[in-house]
Amino acid sequence: MLTAAYTNVNNERPGSCEPPDHPHCPAAAAVPSSRERKRQAPRGRRVDPVALDEVTALLGSAPRRRDLLIEFLHLLQDRYGCLATNHLAALAQELRMAQAEVYEVASFYHHFDIVREGEAAPAGLTVRVCAGLSCEMAGARALLDRLPALLGLEVRVLAAPCIGRCEQAPAALVGKAAVPAATLESIAATVDRGTSPAPAHIGYDEYVANGGYALLRACAAGERSGESLIEALEHAGLRGLGGAGFPTGRKWRIVKAEGGPRLMAVNVDEGEPGTFKDRVYLERDPHRFIEGMLLAARVVGIDDIYIYVRDEYHDARALLAGELARLQGEAPIAGLPRIHLRRGAGAYICGEESAMIESIEGKRGMPRLRPPYVAQVGLFGRPTLEHNFETLYWVRDIVERGPDWFAGQGRNGRKGLRSFSVSGRVRSPGVKLAPAGISVRELIDEYCDGMADGHTLYAYLPGGASGGILPAALGHLPLDFDTLQPYGCFIGSAAVIVLSQQDSAAAAARNMMAFFRDESCGQCTPCRVGTAKAVGLIAAPRWDTALLGELSQVMRDASICGLGQAAPNPVDCVMRYFPHEVTA
């Protein structure tokens, strides 16, 4: 069963994933207590009958479950172009939630526009121009300055955090339509057209014709054991490719050892500035990922899978929903897991595994304190196998080609393959599948056709916004897990942004720290206040390096999650490797 928002393609009873009293069934949360049944509606704003009729009509027969709150907010935003407070009050009544609880979730996410009584609704169409580092270097600021006058008052123009199209810089979104290599003319044309071309991809028939799902069928028939798959992943050395790098085989063993029911959460919310590999692979070959996901579910013993796709990936999400529906119609094996497709709402923090799980549950995307870890107490309180998209993408190839194929790749003493998202001042940006341990100079020369005309390597970000900044003098370092930490950096999701002599490392740090300030969930003071304080300090032409050093240490030591802990990396690297830019 695939549920996209609340869609139940098997026409089962709405909300049924297990009996309602099952400990991990979200439907259980929809059963009101005796005290709740006595009260007709939550306390707070009186519910407008017209707004209530509109909300109930929009929700239709969807189960009124708390974990679907964000999906329902999307329905309202898509239908009315904003979230009116009378609609929020009506939605709270439908879900038997406090109005303040609905409001706090809606106000947490960037892509929801709350309109209070007496306020004007936003323009009917929103154009988001990416203000990420790669797009800024490609001229995004000029677009932001000139678009409002060109498009007029009926179109709202916003600077957006990275939208995952760095190889197409400057990139923009016109509503949900992506505009690569955006110009004033192409954005205006998309405003008129309203859509973007659907990405060409390998569909179900072509995938099956080329051996797809044969491995899944072999596992279902008992021809391949789950243990053999885990051993293959362990021998290959496959690690999590979302940034943390936890060994994949070990993760499967840990979750498998936990008592059932177990769940899976798949992260396709790659919001790290500079990262776009998951989108590219999803748009090219979705079933390779789906088969890896189903193999993991079968080996670990999982009946329910939740796929969380970032809202900026509208076309990729629609493509995935279509292919999952096709899979259900022509299932390669009996007893497929139930698959629930969930839509993000514009929050970088939801790339963190526990924040993503909170969002899937219909809450604000705030990271959880650990322990307990997600593998033990995760989604809906159940043991959860959490994976990045690309990690699952490689499962079939590693098992079918043999672990030695994957482990045999690599340079400079490293093993495996890495998908580098390369953007910035190179001639051919894009996703580059290259040996682990390759240096940035080798990556640029061998896979990117060299530096762009008129540019020479000055600096590079090896792991996106949070991975730090290194000078060209360290362009020989192996790019892989565990190789960059001594230099104050890390590879993370392998997002490589290349800077030239025309760029400034300090300016790059300012761009990224502003991003972290805006994307901090606000839960912990070191991150919430620290990022804002750092933005103010580095705005000066001459930096107070002593104070910035103290601030950095506090953020690293006391922040709850990786956002606050890694946010100081770009600033620290500028002070360490580019002092001439900030102390002269």
Give the Cα separation of 578 and 505 in Å (integer): 7
Q: In three state form, how does the secondary structure of 253-302 look?
A: HHHHCCCCCEEEEEEECCCCCCCCHHHHHHHHCHHHHHHHHHHHHHHHCE
Give the Cα separation of 418 and 256 in Å (integer): 27
For the chain, the C-alpha Rg in angstroms (whole number) is 24
> E strands of 34-91, at which residues?
83-84
Give the Cα separation of 389 and 120 in Å (integer): 40
**Is residue 26's pLDDT more than 90?**
no
Question: Between 497 and 243, where is the model more confident?
Answer: 497
- Report phi then psi at 253, rounded to 5: -65, -40
**Is residue 264's pLDDT more than 70?**
yes
* pLDDT value of residue 192: 83
Give the Cα separation of 269 and 285 in Å (integer): 18
Q: How far is CA 184 from CA 131, 188, 267, 323, 550, in A?
A: 15, 6, 33, 34, 44
pLDDT cut 70: percent of the chain above it: 92
Give the Cα separation of 402 and 108 in Å (integer): 45
pLDDT digits (tens, 9 = 90+) for 199-234: 789 999 999 999 999 999 999 999 999 999 999 999
- Residue written as tokens 């190789």? 483
Given a contact cutoff of 8 angstroms between Cβ atoms, the answer to whether 106 and 126 are in contact is: no
pLDDT digits (tens, 9 = 90+) for 274-327: 999 999 999 999 999 999 999 999 999 999 999 999 999 999 999 999 999 999
pLDDT band of 40, cuts 50, 70, 90: low
Given a contact cutoff of 8 angstroms between Cβ atoms, the answer to whether 168 and 134 are in contact is: no
- Residue written as tokens 């407008």? 48
* pLDDT value of residue 24: 57
pLDDT digits (tens, 9 = 90+) for 104-152: 999 999 999 999 988 999 999 999 999 999 999 999 999 999 999 999 9
pLDDT digits (tens, 9 = 90+) for 386-425: 999 999 999 999 999 999 999 999 999 999 999 999 999 9
Cut 0.85: pTM above it: yes
DSSP code of residue 357: H
* pLDDT value of residue 35: 52
**Is residue 577's pLDDT more than 50?**
yes
> E strands of 44-169, at which residues?
83-84, 114-115, 125-130, 155-160
Q: How far is CA 111 from CA 211, 344, 485, in A?
A: 40, 9, 35
* pLDDT value of residue 45: 73
* pLDDT value of residue 472: 98
**Is residue 8's pLDDT more than 70?**
no
Give the range with max mean pLDDT: 17-21, 190-194, 461-465.
461-465
Q: Cis peptide leading into 261, omega within 30 of 0?
A: yes
N residues, the chain: 584
Given a contact cutoff of 8 angstroms between Cβ atoms, the answer to whether 86 and 48 are in contact is: yes
What type of residue is 35? R
Mean pLDDT for the stretch of residues 88-107: 97
pLDDT cut 90: percent of the chain above it: 89
Give the Cα separation of 30 and 564 in Å (integer): 35
- Residue written as tokens 């939801």? 350
The number of angstroms, rounded, from the C-alpha of 232 to the middle of its chain's C-alpha atoms is 27
The token pair that represents 222 in the structure block:
């008992």
CB under 8 Å to 49, separation ≥6 — which residues?
A: none
pLDDT digits (tens, 9 = 90+) for 47-56: 999 999 999 9
* Conformational region of residue 304, where left means phi above 0, alpha means psi within -120 to 50, and beta covers everything else: beta
Tell me the average pLDDT of the chain: 92
DSSP code of residue 376: T
The token pair that represents 446 in the structure block:
């061998």
What type of residue is 552? S
